[in-house]
Amino acid sequence: MTASVRADERNPARPAPPIVPDDSSLGTLRIAVIDGDSGFIQVLSNRLDGLGSEHRVLARPVPPDVVASMRLSALVVDLGLLGPEAWSWLERLHQTLPELGIVVCTGPSTVAQRVRGLRLGADDWITKPCHPEEVIARVQSVVRRRRYSSARAETAQVTAGEVEIRADRFQAFVGELSIDLTRREFELIELLAAAEGRVLEREEIYSRLWGYTMVRGDRSVDVFVRKLRQKLERASPGWRYIHTHFGIGYRFAAESLEVVDPGDVPSSVPADWDAGDQGELAGSHEDGKLGARAV
The predicted-structure confidence for 208-267, as pLDDT tens digits, reads as follows 888 777 788 888 899 999 999 999 999 999 999 999 999 899 999 999 887 545 555 454
SS3 at position 250:
strand
- Of the ranges 74-78, 96-100, 136-140, which one carries the lowest mean pLDDT score? 96-100
pLDDT value at position 110? Answer: 92
- Residue span(s) of the chain under CATH 3.40.50.2300 come to 18-152
Which fold does the domain 158-256 belong to in CATH? Arc Repressor Mutant, subunit A (1.10.10)
Examine the pLDDT at 152 and tell me if it is beyond 80: no
Minimum mean pLDDT range among 23-32, 54-63, 177-186: 23-32
State how far the Cα of 45 lies from the Cα of 203, in Å rounded to an integer.
30
CB 123 within 8 A of CB 142: yes
Q: How far is CA 32 from CA 62, 104, 222, 249, in A?
A: 11, 12, 38, 38
Start and end residues for every CATH 1.10.10.10 domain found in the chain: 158-256
The answer to whether 140 and 25 have CB atoms below 8 angstroms apart is no
Range 79-108 average pLDDT: 90
Distance CA 175, CA 51 (A): 48
Mode of pairing for the β-strands spanning 239-245 and 249-256: antiparallel
Q: Do 126 and 201 form a contact (C-beta atoms < 8 A)?
A: no
- Counted residue by residue, the chain has a size of 295
Q: pLDDT tens, 158-186?
A: 888 999 988 877 788 998 888 988 888 98
pLDDT digits (tens, 9 = 90+) for 105-118: 999 999 999 999 99
The full DSSP string for 72-102 is -SEEEE-GGGTGGGHHHHHHHHHHH-TTSEE
Mean pLDDT confidence for 47-51: 86
d(Cα 185, Cα 225) in Å, to the nearest integer? 8
> Helices 183-194 & 202-210, crossing angle to 10 degrees?
130
Report the DSSP pairing between strands 74-77 and 30-34: parallel
The DSSP 8-state label assigned to residue 152 in this structure reads: H
Q: What's the pLDDT score for residue 154?
A: 54
Closest alpha carbon to 229 in 194, 196, 210, 255: 255
Alpha helices by DSSP H, listed for the chain, are: 7-10, 38-50, 64-69, 86-96, 111-120, 132-153, 183-194, 202-210, 220-235, 275-286
End-to-end CA separation in angstroms for the chain: 96
Angle subtended at Cα 216 by Cα 213 and Cα 218, rounded to the nearest 5 degrees: 85
Distance CA 23, CA 150 (A): 18
**Highest-confidence segment of 16-30, 116-130, 203-217:** 116-130
**Rounded to two decimals, what is the model's pTM?**
0.48
Query: What pLDDT was estimated at residue 281?
Result: 37
What confidence score (pLDDT) does residue 211 get? 72
Residue 89 has a pLDDT of: 92
pLDDT above 90: percentage of residues in the chain: 30
CATH 3.40.50.720 given to domain 18-152: no
